């Protein structure tokens, strides 16, 4: 039931589209930004899973994933 904040930063030219995913579901997107926060206000066991931040522009796509475990 406590909040969790996930952060993601990326730079590029042109500036990337940053997106947070859980599986294939887009949770949040921000075009032309260097950082994007994902706030989960009250984490419950069903929030557990893999979260990915994707930075994408016309030159390519880069991502990082993390596994959230909830006790």
Burial letters 36-64, b for 16+ CB under 10 A, else e? bebebeeeeeeeeeebbbbbbbeeeeeee
CATH architecture, domain defined by 2-59: Sandwich (2.60)
Domain boundaries, the chain: 2-59
Integer Cα distance of 35 and 13 in angstroms: 14
List per-residue pLDDT tens for the chain, 71 residues long: 899 999 999 999 999 999 999 999 999 999 988 999 999 999 999 999 999 999 999 999 999 999 999 98
Q: Which run of H or of E encompasses 62? A: strand 60-68
């Amino acid at each position: 039931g406590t909040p969790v904040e996930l952060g993601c930063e990326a730079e590029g030219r042109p500036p990337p589209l940053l997106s947070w995913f859980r599986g294939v579901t887009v949770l949040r997107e921000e075009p032309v930004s260097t950082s994007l926060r994902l706030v989960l206000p009250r984490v419950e066991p069903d929030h557990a899973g893999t979260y990915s931040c994707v930075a994408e522009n016309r030159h390519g796509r880069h991502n990082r994933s993390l596994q959230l475990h909830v006790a």
